[in-house]
């Protein structure tokens, strides 16, 4: 299930929006926005803390701590309920539309009486918004696009939310007497970026105990359908979960059947038909006699069809069948192969944990190296200065090699540290700091953080110029998208990918579940240009480090191997790659 911290983070984010919509104090809204981020990234379960313990969390004072305690005592917060009562629920829904903030939502309600997404869409079609200050044809176009994004994602949840729930269900059912096998399948096993519902598969000779245990889970709010082979429920999180129980000797066929995308399964069934076989969730059968041939493992099902076992993230009918028949499936990168994380933050800027806590947590993950990349001064709200960055560099050097892979202090040979920065790519493609200052960093990630709506030509040139900077090693969250809330930049991505390949600039696969940027389709295109990649957590708290698993899943969906991902490389090879990047030249610039 969702962490208690995530519940509170969502509640405070909503409260901040409600304050803005009702014309409340802007400072107070920012206070709750900060508190939401801090609670969401805090390592301990806030449901277990008292007021005093809660005040140990950054940006959480006594009043906020008391609201958290109130929520877990009563199931609600009176201050939030009071503001909710002042605003039609449809207006709150408006704030979920990408590109439409609380202030504009408030104007639409006060001036035009718009209190639902449907009313807003109709008002735009009737061109009623154009007389409002701050609204014009371009604004209407952006809002309509935002409505499309909202509608397309309204019945789906982010990958991490679904994974948390699925893992809880699997753990609970695995403990039921008679359960022989249990796992989740479907789009979640394929690491799709959003999930509509969860498929859980179990193997047992008697389905009864499993079905009863499933419907009695504490987070089940409704039993939608109940049967001997399949039961469907709704959970308190609004997610649907389907449980299927199959005979133990059908496990492999069922897992194959319920994992692949529809198009992939059609292709495997076609292969079976061409061999006079029939493939179903119960096994692979002789089409004429009905005799079961294989079914116990996925490997034997695929092998009988003339294929190697196909990793779940590839089962989308994007060439994996043909590659398998040719014996050319890639050996996909694995999370265990990651030697480090190259994009993380501390409380020096917008992170939540001090440097040493982040370093210790990274060492516990068994990393050989780890990069600290706080923001540069171009993002003024981060209050970065040359002096603060140089002081951090001294701290990083002092901690270099101090922590061993168990997270304990080592006498030597511990995890190596790289001191870096996340630079801001300005509208012209420039970045924070002059080259002489940038030369002091071990690596630099450069990212776009604003001015998203420039022309396609301007955005393309902006990114290409950043790639050509000799001190930019990685382009962070390249498209800047936020799933369901902000679309990616409208750039000529093939031109950007070609520039990355030419200049030796890696592209990031940002593992934060609401980004997963680059997305899998972009990775496939960039890989064809010869680009290298970095799978990074972009962690702002110690708990965020673990989200790198979702970045690895996305990399797998993009067919990446260990050689494609620079933070799987030994430290010496990584540093050679970073040094080589420093010699890249901009077009027309002569060699030294």
Better-scored residue on pLDDT, 114 or 542: 542
pLDDT digits (tens, 9 = 90+) for 184-214: 999 999 999 999 899 999 999 999 999 999 9
Quickly tell me which residue has 């965020």 as its tokens: 544
What mean pLDDT, rounded, does the chain reach?
90
Residue 72, CA atoms < 13 Å, CB-side half-sphere:
19
Query: What residue ranges define each of the domains in the chain, with the CATH number in brackets?
Result: 4-153 (1.10.150.110), 157-246 (3.30.460.10), 251-326 (3.30.210.10), 335-581 (3.20.20.140)
pLDDT digits (tens, 9 = 90+) for 329-344: 999 999 999 999 999 9
Other Cβ atoms closer than 10 A to 264 = 21
Give the three-state DSSP class for 1: coil
Angle, alpha carbons 549-550-553 (nearest 5°) = 90
When pLDDT is cut at 50, 70 and 90, the band that residue 588 belongs to is very low
| d(C-alpha 71, C-alpha 145), whole Å | 35
Give residue 584's pLDDT.
64
Task: Put the strands of the sheet holding 416-424 in their side by side order.
Answer: 340-341, 369-375, 416-424, 443-447, 474-475, 506-510, 533-536
Give residue 111's pLDDT.
84
Give residue 104's pLDDT.
80
Angle, alpha carbons 551-553-559 (nearest 5°) = 105
User: What's the mean pLDDT in 484-501?
Assistant: 93
| d(C-alpha 259, C-alpha 261), whole Å | 7
Q: Is residue 411 predicted with pLDDT exceeding 80? A: no
Q: End-to-end CA distance of the chain, in Å?
A: 57
Give residue 101's pLDDT.
72
- Across-strand partners of 279? 284
User: What's the mean pLDDT in 528-533?
Assistant: 97
DSSP percent split of the chain into helix, strand, coil, nearest 5: 45, 15, 40
Q: Is residue 586 predicted with pLDDT exceeding 80? A: no
| d(C-alpha 431, C-alpha 437), whole Å | 12
Give residue 493's pLDDT.
97
When pLDDT is cut at 50, 70 and 90, the band that residue 566 belongs to is very high
Give residue 269's pLDDT.
95
How does strand 474-475 pair with strand 443-447?
parallel
* Residue 213: C-alpha distances to residues 177, 231, 466 (Å): 10, 11, 55
Q: Is residue 85 predicted with pLDDT exceeding 90? A: no
- In this structure, of 18-22, 36-40, 316-320, 511-515, the range with the lowest mean pLDDT score is 18-22
Cβ contacts of 84 within 8 Å, gap of 6 or more: 18, 92
Give the three-state DSSP class for 522: helix
Better-scored residue on pLDDT, 22 or 19: 19
Q: Which percentage of the chain shows pLDDT scores above 70?
A: 96
Q: Is residue 541 predicted with pLDDT exceeding 70? A: yes
Phi and psi at 509, nearest 5°, equal: -105, 95
Give residue 405's pLDDT.
82
């Amino acid at each position: 299930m969702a962490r208690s911290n995530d519940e509170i983070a969502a509640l405070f984010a909503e409260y901040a929006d409600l304050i803005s919509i009702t014309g409340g104090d802007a400072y107070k809204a920012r206070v709750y926005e900060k508190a939401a981020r801090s609670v969401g990234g805090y390592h301990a379960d806030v449901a277990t803390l008292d007021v005093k313990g809660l005040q140990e969390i950054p940006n959480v004072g006594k009043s906020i701590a008391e609201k958290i305690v109130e929520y877990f005592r009563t199931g609600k917060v009176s201050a939030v309920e009071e503001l909710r009562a002042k605003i039609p629920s449809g207006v709150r829904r408006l704030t979920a539309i990408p590109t439409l903030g609380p202030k504009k939502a408030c104007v639409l309600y006060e001036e035009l009486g718009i209190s639902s997404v449907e009313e807003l869409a109709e008002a735009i079609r009737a061109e009623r918004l154009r007389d409002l200050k701050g609204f014009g044809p371009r604004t209407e176009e952006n809002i309509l696009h935002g409505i499309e994004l909202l509608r397309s994602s309204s019945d789906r949840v982010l990958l991490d939310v679904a994974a948390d729930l699925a893992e809880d269900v699997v753990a609970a059912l695995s403990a039921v007497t008679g359960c022989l096998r249990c796992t989740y399948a479907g789009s979640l096993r394929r690491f799709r970026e959003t999930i509509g519902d969860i498929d859980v598969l179990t193997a047992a000779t008697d389905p009864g105990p499993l079905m009863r245990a499933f419907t009695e889970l504490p987070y089940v709010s409704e039993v939608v359908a109940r049967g001997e082979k399949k039961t469907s429920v709704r959970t308190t999180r609004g997610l649907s979960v389907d449980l299927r129980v199959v005979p133990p000797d059908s496990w492999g066929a069922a897992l194959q059947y319920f994992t692949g995308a529809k198009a992939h399964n059609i292709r495997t069934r076609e292969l079976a038909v061409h061999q006079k076989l029939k493939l179903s969730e119960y096994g692979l059968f002789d089409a004429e006699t009905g005799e079961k041939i294989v079914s116990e493992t996925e490997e034997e099902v695929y092998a009988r069809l003339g294929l190697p076992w196909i990793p779940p993230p590839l089962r989308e009918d994007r060439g994996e069948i043909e590659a398998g028949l040719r014996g050319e499936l890639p050996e996909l990168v694995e999370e265990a192969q990651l030697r480090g994380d190259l994009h993380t933050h501390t409380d020096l800027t917008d992170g939540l944990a001090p440097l040493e806590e982040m370093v210790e947590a990274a060492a516990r993950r068994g990393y050989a190296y780890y990069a600290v990349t706080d923001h540069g001064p171009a993002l003024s709200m981060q209050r970065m200065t040359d002096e603060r960055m140089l002081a951090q560099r001294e701290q990083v050097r002092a901690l270099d090699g101090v922590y061993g892979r168990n997270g304990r202090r080592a006498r030597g040979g511990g995890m190596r540290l790289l001191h870096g920065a996340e630079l801001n790519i300005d509208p012209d493609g420039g970045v924070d700091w002059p080259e002489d200052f940038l030369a002091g960093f071990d690596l630099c990630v450069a990212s776009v953080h604003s001015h998203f709506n420039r022309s396609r030509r301007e955005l393309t040139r902006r990114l290409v110029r950043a790639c050509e900077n000799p001190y930019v090693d990685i382009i962070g969250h390249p498209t800047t998208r936020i799933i369901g809330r902000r679309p990616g930049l409208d750039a000529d991505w093939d031109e950007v990918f070609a520039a990355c390949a030419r200049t030796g600039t890696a592209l990031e696969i940002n593992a934060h579940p609401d980004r997963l940027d680059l997305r899998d389709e972009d990775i496939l295109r960039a890989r064809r240009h010869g680009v290298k990649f970095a799978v990074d957590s972009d962690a702002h708290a110690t708990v965020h480090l673990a989200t790198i698993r979702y970045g690895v899943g996305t990399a797998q969906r993009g067919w990446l191997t260990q050689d494609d991902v620079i933070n799987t490389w030994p430290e010496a090879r990584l540093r050679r790659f970073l040094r080589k990047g420093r010699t890249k030249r901009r077009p027309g610039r002569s060699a030294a």
